[in-house]
Amino acid sequence: MPTRPARDPAEITIERVSVLYALESEATPLVERLGLQEQPAVDPQLRPRHFAGTVGTLHVDLLTLGRDPRSGTERVGTDAATMGAYMGVRKLSPDLLLNAGTCGGFEAEGAAVGTIYVSRGDLLFHDRRIPIAAFRQQAEGRWPGTPAPRLAQAIGAREGVVSSGNSLDCLPGELEFMRRERVCAKDMEATAIAQVCVQCGVPFVAVKAVTDLVDHPEPVQDAFLRNLRMVSALLAERMEAGVRWLGAHPRRAGDL
């Protein structure tokens, strides 16, 4: 598909949405709810799973990040997210890219397992440190997401700051950064995808569901593994509502 000419992202009318998930277990419940059909691999090297369908006025593509060629585990983290997002934007030309998935939440911000967040403001990286003034912004991300208060309301989500890094657990300095920035959702992909979307002129929103609490004594991996299936089902319910809201009639990215 040819690359589109530069547009003011807020003026884009959303007729094509791409939904990017890391894990198949997060994505499958939405594929089933929307009745999306599997498509041939959109990229022969990365081999993401690709499903597509129509919801009202909307063409929907759903991509996962594919699998690590050595271990066979699903790709997670910012490297995979950057590659997957760039490939998706180039091949599918979405008017809006949604990154859906699970996240760590924070009791201090009032979260519980199952709380859903829509990204608010700039998206951050909490594990990149370059103590040289000119590089600080690049390290910390601060890539703006597209404001989506109406979408958040339509799906019963809170709005909150999202921060990404490449670890499931968290070092004390990272926790301190996230406390300072009032982070609500700690994930491993969203900010990398926002970075691609801003530079490609594609509106971007993250929708994240809490599987574990970062500021709680239980190891996050235990809560994550225990809650992944249940929270993915809950996320799919809300994502279905969001996709149907987007497909009810064409909406401008500036009106999300």
Residues annotated as catalytic (active site), given as ranges: 26, 212
133, amino acid identity: A
Please say which residue, 59 or 224, places its beta carbon nearer to ligand ADE.
Answer: 224
The least CB distance from residue 231 to ligand ADE, in Å, is 9
Q: How far is the CB of 206 from ligand ADE (least distance, A)?
A: 12
Query: Nearest CA to 23 among 49, 44, 59, 45?
Result: 49
Torsion of CA 164, 76, 209, 143, to 10 degrees: 30
CB of 29 to ligand ADE, least distance (A): 16
78 binds ligand ADE (CB under 6 A): no
Which residue, judged by CB position, is nearest to ligand ADE in the bound state?
Answer: 104
How many angstroms separate the first and last alpha carbons of the chain?
26
Measured from the CB of residue 10, what is the shortest distance to ligand ADE in angstroms?
29
Residue 214 touching ligand ADE (CB under 6 A): yes
Query: Judged by CB under 6 A, does residue 127 bind ligand ADE?
Result: no
Residues 142-171, one symbol each (x = binds ligand ADE by CB under 6 A, - = not), give --------------------------x---
CA distance 116 to 109: 13
**Of the candidates 186, 236, 243, 247, which one interacts with ligand ADE according to CB under 6 A?**
186
What DSSP character marks residue 67? B
Question: With binding defined as CB under 6 A, does residue 192 bind ligand ADE?
Answer: no
**Binders in 194-213 for ligand ADE, by CB under 6 A:** 211-212
Residue 63: other Cβ atoms inside 10 A: 27
Burial of 224 (0-12, 13-18, 19+ CB in 10 A): middle
Q: Rounded to an integer, what distance in angstroms lies between the CA atom of residue 228 and that of residue 245?
A: 25
Stretch that binds ligand ADE, among 28-36, 37-45, 172-180, 183-191 (CB under 6 A): 183-191
Q: Where are the beta strands (DSSP E) in the chain?
A: 13-14, 16-20, 37-38, 50-55, 58-63, 96-105, 116-119, 122-125, 141-144, 158-164, 183-187, 204-213, 251-252
Q: Is 103 in the site for ligand ADE (CB under 6 A)?
A: yes
CB of 248 to ligand ADE, least distance (A): 30
The answer to whether the beta carbons of residues 141 and 161 sit under 8 Å apart is: no
Measure the CA–CA gap between 89 and 248, rounded to whole angstroms.
23
Residue 175 lies near ligand ADE (rule: CB under 6 A):
no
Structure tokens at 64: 């996962």
Number of residues that bind ligand ADE (CB under 6 A): 12
**Near ligand ADE by CB under 6 A, which window of 37-45, 62-70, 99-107, 172-180?**
99-107
Site residues (vs ligand ADE, CB under 6 A): 102-104, 168, 186-188, 211-212, 214, 220, 224
